[in-house]
């Protein structure tokens, strides 16, 4: 039995190590100095940058499955996944075809990233996080353990999504044909923060530097630089000046 399978058309850069029982399909391109673990599957055409680590059991470039009654999954074949330089992909993570991941992104163990998702540089996708299809995640974001990002959502740069956060995109809860005209995920503007276990309803927008407190249920748009709390979440107070994103000095670090 071969220790791994590498298609003849795949390219693997110098210094890259491939573990046992790993499958690398046709047209895959892997850069230099990467570490590919055991039992990894890398599907056709996937592009992986330099110095990328992919841990045991991960699947990269999986084509989506469409259930007979799925409302948001298409049958179109997705383009190959792309993973930028110096990324880390944890054990048993699944990254679908049609995903574009920037540089120095961490995708932790058991995370799932669906098709047509973009993730910016330096973002952390925590353990067990699920990002559904057609989402945009910005740069320097933190999506913590078991957060759920519904399809058609956008999370802008420097946002913090705490463990167990839930988002939604269907006000009709799967009934009536009218729902197909109204699917809309959530939008979290630059520097927005959602506390542990917070819930946001479909189409809701969290303004820049807005905060939803732990356990809050946001049913309407939240103003920028404002803390919301409760069920349903209501305006609590303004975000303190020293907590505002522009007062952290991080932008200066990014330009260096």
Q: Please provide the distance, in angstroms rounded to a whole number, between the alpha carbons at the two ends of the chain.
A: 50
Mean pLDDT of 169-184: 81
Q: Are 23 and 11 in contact (CB under 8 A)?
A: no
- What span, in angstroms and rounded, lies between the C-alpha atoms of 87 and 229? 35
- What's the angle, vertex CA 29, arms to CA 24 and CA 34, rounded to 5? 80
pLDDT exceeding 70 applies to what percent of the chain? Answer: 95
* pLDDT band, very low/low/confident/very high, at 256 (cuts 50, 70, 90): very low
* pLDDT band, very low/low/confident/very high, at 250 (cuts 50, 70, 90): confident
* pLDDT band, very low/low/confident/very high, at 4 (cuts 50, 70, 90): confident
Give the contacts of 197 (CB within 8 A, at least 6 positions apart).
Answer: 162, 163, 164, 165, 166, 214, 215
Element (H, E) at 253: helix 250-254
Burial of 114 (0-12, 13-18, 19+ CB in 10 A): buried
Asked if residue 223 has pLDDT above 50, the reply is yes
Q: In the structure encoding, which two tokens stand for residue 206, read together? A: 């969290």
* pLDDT band, very low/low/confident/very high, at 88 (cuts 50, 70, 90): very high
Question: Each residue of 98-127: pLDDT tens digit?
Answer: 999 999 999 999 999 999 999 999 999 999
Confidence (pLDDT) at 67? 74
Question: Each residue of 123-143: pLDDT tens digit?
Answer: 999 999 999 999 999 999 999
The reported pTM is 0.93
* pLDDT band, very low/low/confident/very high, at 72 (cuts 50, 70, 90): low
Mean pLDDT of 29-35: 98
Asked if residue 2 has pLDDT above 70, the reply is no
Confidence (pLDDT) at 158? 97
- What span, in angstroms and rounded, lies between the C-alpha atoms of 133 and 4? 31
- What's the angle, vertex CA 115, arms to CA 113 and CA 120, rounded to 5? 60
Which of 215, 98, 212 is CA-nearest to residue 155? 212
């Amino acid at each position: 039995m071969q220790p791994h399978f590498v298609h003849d058309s795949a390219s693997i850069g110098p210094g890259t190590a491939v573990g046992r029982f790993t499958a690398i399909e046709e047209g895959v391109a892997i850069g230099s100095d990467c570490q590919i673990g055991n039992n990894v599957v890398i599907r056709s055409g996937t592009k992986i940058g330099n110095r990328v680590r992919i841990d045991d059991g991960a699947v990269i470039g999986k084509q989506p499955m469409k259930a007979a009654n799925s409302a948001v999954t298409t049958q179109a074949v997705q383009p190959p996944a792309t993973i930028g330089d110096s990324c880390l992909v944890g054990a048993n993570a699944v990254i679908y075809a049609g995903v574009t991941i920037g540089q120095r992104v961490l995708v932790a163990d058991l995370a799932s990233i669906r098709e047509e998702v973009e993730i910016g540089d330096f973002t952390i996708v925590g353990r067990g996080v699920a990002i559904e299809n057609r989402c945009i995640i910005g740069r320097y974001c933190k999506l913590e353990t078991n957060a759920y990002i519904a399809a058609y959502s956008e999370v802008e740069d420097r946002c913090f999504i705490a463990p167990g956060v839930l988002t939604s995109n269907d006000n009709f809860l799967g009934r009536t044909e009218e729902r197909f005209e109204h699917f809309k995920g959530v939008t979290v503007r630059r520097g927005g923060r959602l506390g542990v276990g917070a819930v946001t309803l479909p189409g809701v927008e969290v303004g820049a530097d807005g905060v939803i407190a732990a356990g809050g249920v946001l049913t309407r748009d939240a103003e920028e630089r404002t803390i919301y709390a409760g069920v349903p979440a209501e305006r609590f107070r303004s975000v303190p000046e020293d907590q505002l994103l522009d007062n952290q000095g991080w932008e200066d670090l990014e330009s260096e």
